[in-house]
Structure 1
């Protein structure tokens, strides 16, 4: 994926969402033919010249200092994830590295995952690949062990699998979060050919993905609540938390639990009764090493 183009489109979309009145910029007058701030208005707020900001937004600026990026981020009112994404996109090619060696779930992470016997949990890696899972996650979300290794990917499931679409009553929110996570990964690893291939496949296969990818929103995996519509047990709402691996910032364990006193507590117990043994030769195989 072209870094300069990603940077240009990200800055344009962030600028387009801002209104002068929201920034207390009452002096910015005149008729507007496009939404958001003009380049000269954004440059003024960031304390840089219009020419310099124009070159930055066009992806033509070289060796942009962190201070200038922070000033632009502040003017654009970027949150922490967006600010990190901006810095990643603006790095010169010489400072960028290809993705590290294939991800494998270590014994400690695997042991911790399998010790979670009463809640669904899975480990997700670069490109939103599903690297490992426990039985409850397999029963709740998808039978990962039955999928070809190349299809064990959350973005592929969300946008290309009808059963997964039906699983999420708030599918639009799930889809938006998925794309926002993938965008953040693209900023960290712009030279990843498998990521570029994945984005291409999703763009060809899903109009919804194309629409959301064009928004250039970024958001990391943190915590929240997700609703599921299980085909056998019906709807349940679970809280989730993302726990990053200590030795790999691109590997995260997602853990879902039922709020105390909720009906979901009983539903999770029923879900445990639906679990069946995984397919021995593929269950919990490292998703990347087999490709």
Structure 2
């Protein structure tokens, strides 16, 4: 096949296998070309050598998602490489494989910390809060004061009377939170992982149980949040949510003050000037 018409999937597969060291997989013998042989990749991927050869040659039609997953495992592809394989083979990314987040990188934490007067946090697909900045601690919730196992937005929303009191319109906020939570969990492939949390909240909160039964779904997106802050009084913040590239399990939420006065008040709290030391405990 002429180089100009070479199929991208085949070229990518050949490139990936050529970069693997046969000896590290227990394959011995002298070789004329670097990397694994086609039949060795097929063996590691638990597919026929003929079918794998056809894929490299652009024959036999589109592979199934199962075949691509097997090849990705056989070639020891990273998540980014696996996604690229799916885009070449099927024209779409693979289904999300949810993994429990254990924290964020120092670089991501530094990004949060640069937002000095904009409360910001990072949550998982199950809405556990795993990182936040100083502005978030003084305006929203100081998660350092919450036991690690309880750092969950829904637990605070439906389990804290303080949280309920500080919301401008708790009923509307609670309904929105539950609908956005359901969408986040499904999008990240974590629908089964939220089962224990949902069962717990349904037992402990009639409000949550009623909202969960309604099956509403919303994207978090962006909007306006109004709070009755214990120090700042009534404040308004615009929020935007962002995906963390390469981490479909994580979401970044940034709250921006809608007025210069609010921004200056937040700066005073962050700097430890009048009012610092009072713990705010609203949910998000």
Tell me the TM-score normalised to structure 1 length.
Answer: 0.57
8 Å CA contact 2:128, 2:151 repeated in 1: yes
State the partner residue of 1:167. Answer: 166
Q: Aligned-residue CA RMSD in angstroms?
A: 2.4
Look up the match of 2:257: 258
Deviation at 1:270, TM superposition (A): 3.9
Q: CA deviation at 1:101?
A: 4.3
Q: Contact 2:103–2:131 (CA<8 Å) still a contact in 1?
A: no
Q: Hey, what's the Cα distance between the residues in 1 that align with 2:250 and 2:155?
A: 18
Of residues 268, 271, 279, the one that matches 2:269 is 271
Tell me if structure 1 keeps the 8 A contact 2:143–2:151. yes
- Structure of larger gyration radius: 2
Cα distance, 1:266–1:200 mapped onto 2, change above 3 Å: same
Cα distance between partner residues in 1 of 2:237 and 2:168:
13
> Could you say which residue in structure 2 is the equivalent of 1:136?
135
Q: Map of 1:1-291 to 2, 5 A cutoff?
A: 99-188=98-187, 189=189, 192-193=192-193, 195-261=194-260, 263-272=261-270, 273=273, 274-275=275-276
CA deviation digits over 1:185-244, x for unaligned, max 9?
A: 342435534x11110111111111111111111112211100011112211011111121
Cα distance in 1 between the residues matched to 2:235 and 2:113: 23
- Structure with more contact order per residue of length (Cα contacts < 8 Å, sep ≥ 6): 1
SS of the residue 2:207 aligns to: helix
Aligned residue pairs, count: 182
> CA shift at 1:248, angstroms?
0.9
Structure 1 residues 144 and 215, CA gap change in structure 2 (3 angstroms): same
On the 8 A contact 1:226/1:240 being kept in 2, the answer is yes
Q: CA deviation at 1:265?
A: 3.0
